[in-house]
Structure 1
Amino acid sequence: MRGLSFEIPNKSGQYLLNILNAFDFTQYFWKTGGEEAYYIENDELGAPLFPKPHVYSGEAFYNRISAGNYYVLFADLKAFNDPLHVKEITTYEEFLNSQCEFALLLVDCSYVTIYTKNQKVLTALYTKAIESKYENVVYITDENDNRTTFEIF
Structure 2
Amino acid sequence: MEKLQQIIILFAIIGITSFSCEKEKHEIKQTEGYIIGFDQCEGGVLTNGRGFVIACNNFADTLVTYNLPNTLFDFPQYLFADYIYSFLFPDPEYLNYKIKFQYRFSSEKEKYYPLCLGTINTWGFTHSVKDRQIIIKNIQKLTNK
More strand by share: 1
User: Per chain length, whose mean CA-contact separation is higher, i.e. which structure has more relative contact order (CA < 8 Å, sep 6+)?
Assistant: 1
Same structural fold, with TM-score higher than 0.5 when normalized by the shorter chain: no
**Higher radius of gyration, 1 or 2:** 2
Instruction: Give TM-score scaled by structure 2 length.
Output: 0.28
